Amino acid sequence: MQDRSLSPLQAERQRYAPKVPPALMSAGPTWEGAAAASQVDPTIASQFPHTAELLQIRCTSGTLAPAGQRVGVVLSGGQAPGGHNVMTGLYDALSAHGGELTGFLGGPIGIIEDKGRVLGAAEIDAHRNTGGFDLIGSGRDKIATEAQFAACAEACRRRELTGLVVIGGDDSNTNAAVLAEWFLANGVSTSVVGVPKTIDGDLKAGAVECSFGFDTATRVYAQLVGNIARDARSAGKYWHFIRLMGRSASHVTLEVALQTQPNFAFIGEEVRANGWTLAQCIEKIAAVIVDRAGRGQHHGICLVPEGLIEFIPEIGRLIEQLNTALANDDGNGSEETILAGLPADSRNVFRSLPAQIRGQLLLDRDSHGNVQVSKIDTESLVIAKVQEHLNFSDSFRTQHHFFGYEGRCAAPTNFDADYTYALGRTAASLLASGKSGYIAALTGLSTEASAWEPTGVPLTSLMHIETRKGKPVPVIAKALVDLDGAPFRYFAERRRQWADDDAYLYPGAPQYFGPAEISDGRTMTLTLEAEERA
């Protein structure tokens, strides 16, 4: 009888052998210091005396871990395609020389509470090239207090771990940086290394060219947006407002716009740079709707980054003030008490918003003090305000969508499968050389995997000071869309034409087999940025 425990695609993907730079497959790790990745802020340097002066390093030969390495791994934050392959890369490098990989369960809390298990070959093999984080689970806990650092140290000592790998986004890698520093300061021999994960694409700087998961997730969203664009054009009666995940930064929206060529896309960073108020944002999309309607086109596609709301100046200010007010609230404060502490203009902004949005703005912050933008229906806010602004309600019919979870656990594209497997081996190599306080990276990602260069980037070089829960703290900086960068310029030069014509592209589903230009492609963002650097 046919085995139906796996879909045909799952079975085929398990057999996929990731493409990796040859250096990562040979023995004996050798790392060379290059130069300081960037100048570390003096306040950060004073708080990270053991890791602030690390140099960026490059692997010149071999990365197979020496015998007997015991490494712990944790998945932290939101799911991103490829997390399992970081683990298979680590596992393969370690097990080739009798090493061992322990998975901490349920995210950082798994280290704090020492909940973990040594991973075996069968379960690792079953998760090769799969999406999801279900092998060990994930979580958003923050490792913040002295007691928690000590508990993590104890877990590492008890398990005699030579290394710990934190797979996460900006906040999780901040955790990794703090832990690496704390371990060095307190004589804990476990080295700590981070891996850049997030579909949001906002963990990148210098040698960290992109975070894993961005490639797969944006391809899934672009497929869905393309399908909707074709539906919109076929029916000719709906404007579709599509909110896309990505937190504050608009990288996901920009990439999806580049892949699909919608009639309109908000880019949060542009809104902030120009200081566009909510009313001005609405005027811009309304102008496109009116123009198109004048030509008999009553359909369209508008992309809305989930973080847009934070970039509209008056709402951004309101959110910051609410963040501080909520951080100081004991949980018993009513909406009115919380609002009473805000400046009058922010109170007015709050009251001008639809009730649904007001409620969502007051929801709990995440453990890092961030507003949870995925829970705010910004696309509905835009629709409501456009409706108020326009007077032709009969011919302006809308649909709204939110795409986020649809893409976070898709089977990684070949790029993400290759990249994450290589990141796992790079992390193993850094640890095998006793390097701590680094994030694993590969440079040259727009080229063939055989030309990628395994690199270690000091975590402190990615940090800046930010206000969190009302206090200044060193954190890894979120990379926002660069308005002078090639991806945004490409978009800005073409958007007028995309608004007028139906220039939609239909990228279709991510492909795992077939011509390399389809199955092994790179995102437009990565390609345009690499072309600009060349």
Of the pair 53, 364, the CB lying nearest ligand FBP is at: 364
Identify residues 407-466 at the interface with ligand FBP (CB under 6 A): 408
| Region from 38-46, 244-252, 320-328, 467-475 binding ligand FBP, contact rule CB under 6 A | 244-252
Residue 251 Cβ vs ligand FBP, minimum distance, rounded to whole Å: 10
Task: State the Cα–Cα distance between residues 400 and 419, nearest whole angstrom.
Answer: 34
The size of the interface with ligand FBP (CB under 6 A), counted in residues, is 15
Task: Give the separation between CA 312 and CA 205, rounded to whole angstroms.
Answer: 25
Q: Are 365 and 338 within 8 A, CB to CB?
A: no
CB of residue 495 to ligand FBP, shortest distance in Å = 23
* Distance of alpha carbon 64 from alpha carbon 23, whole angstroms: 9
Q: Determine how many CB atoms are found less than 10 A away from the CB of residue 485.
A: 14
Q: Which is nearer to ligand FBP, 282 or 326 (CB)?
A: 326
Site residues for ligand FBP, 76-95, by CB under 6 A, read: 77-78, 80
Angle ∠(410,511,423) on CA atoms, nearest 5: 60
* Binding residue (CB under 6 A) for ligand FBP from 59, 124, 188, 373: 373
Closest CA to 259 of 520, 534, 510: 510
Contact 327, 365 (CB under 8 A): yes
* CA dist., res. 261 & res. 256, Å (int): 8
> Using CB atoms, what's the residue nearest to ligand FBP?
77
**Contact pick of 21, 246, 262, 437 for ligand FBP (by CB under 6 A):** 246
- Smaller CB distance to ligand FBP: residue 29 or 196? 196
Assess whether 200 carries a catalytic annotation: yes
- CB of 100 or CB of 170, closer to ligand FBP: 170
Stretch that binds ligand FBP, among 75-83, 151-159, 226-234, 525-533 (CB under 6 A): 75-83
3-state helix, strand, coil in the chain (%, to 5): 45, 15, 40
The residue (of 85 and 346) whose beta carbon lies closer to ligand FBP is: 85
Place of tokens 């900006």: 170
| Cβ proximity to ligand FBP, 100 vs 200, nearer residue | 200
Query: How many angstroms from the chain centroid is the CA of residue 133?
Result: 14
Distance separating alpha carbons of residues 195 and 79, to the nearest angstrom: 13
Using CB under 6 A, pick the residue from 200, 269, 270, 529 that binds ligand FBP.
200
**Token pair 């990602």 in the structure block, residue:** 445
**Three-state SS for 240?**
strand
Local structure of residue 373 (DSSP, 8 states): G
Closest approach, Cβ 493 to ligand FBP, in A, equals 27
Stretch that binds ligand FBP, among 245-253, 411-419, 499-507, 524-532 (CB under 6 A): 245-253
Selection from 90, 68, 98 nearest residue 18 by Cα: 90
Based on CB atoms, which residue is closest to ligand FBP, 29 or 168?
168
Q: What are phi and psi of 525, to 5 degrees?
A: -60, -50
Among residues 198, 218, 250, 360, which is the contact residue for ligand FBP, using CB under 6 A? 198
Stretch near ligand FBP under the rule CB under 6 A, chosen from 193-201, 312-320, 394-402, 501-509: 193-201
What is the CB neighbour count within 10 angstroms for residue 447? 12
Angstrom CA distances, 146 to 24, 154, 182, stand at 36, 12, 9
Q: Name the residue nearer to ligand FBP (CB basis): 156 or 441.
A: 441
Cα–Cα dist 285/387, whole Å = 11
The answer to whether 107 contacts ligand FBP (rule: CB under 6 A) is no
Could you give the CA distance from residue 491 to residue 483 in angstroms, rounded to a whole number? 10
Q: Is 219 in the site for ligand FBP (CB under 6 A)?
A: no
Asked whether 527 and 446 are in contact (CB, 8 A), the reply is: yes
- Scanning 7-15, 104-112, 222-230, 240-248 for contacts with ligand FBP by CB under 6 A, the matching segment is 240-248
Query: What is the spatial distance between Cα 413 and Cα 407, in angstroms, rounded to a whole number?
Result: 11
Site for ligand FBP in 301-320 (CB under 6 A): 306
- 322-341: contacts with ligand FBP (CB under 6 A): none
300 vs 412, beta carbon nearer ligand FBP: 412
> Least distance to ligand FBP from the beta carbon of 52, Å?
24
User: What is the pattern of x (binds ligand FBP, CB under 6 A) and - over residues 157-176?
Assistant: ------------x-------
Interface region with ligand FBP, contact rule CB under 6 A, candidates 107-115, 197-205, 275-283, 340-348 = 197-205
Helix (H/G/I), strand (E/B), else coil: 54: coil
Classify each residue of 136-158 as buried b or exposed e, where b means 16 or more C-beta atoms within 10 Å of its C-beta.
Answer: bbbbbbbbeeeebbebbbebbee
Asked if residue 374 binds ligand FBP (CB under 6 A), the reply is yes
- CA atoms within a 13 Å half-sphere pointing along the CA-CB vector of 371: 30
Residue among 263 and 378 whose Cβ is closer to ligand FBP:
378
How far apart are CB 370 and ligand FBP at their closest, in Å? 9
Choose, by CB under 6 A, the member of 127, 128, 247, 299 that binds ligand FBP: 247
Which candidate in 141, 171, 200, 377 is catalytic?
A: 200
**Residues annotated catalytic, as ranges:** 200
Contacts to ligand FBP by CB under 6 A: 77-78, 80, 169, 198-200, 245-247, 306, 373-374, 404, 408
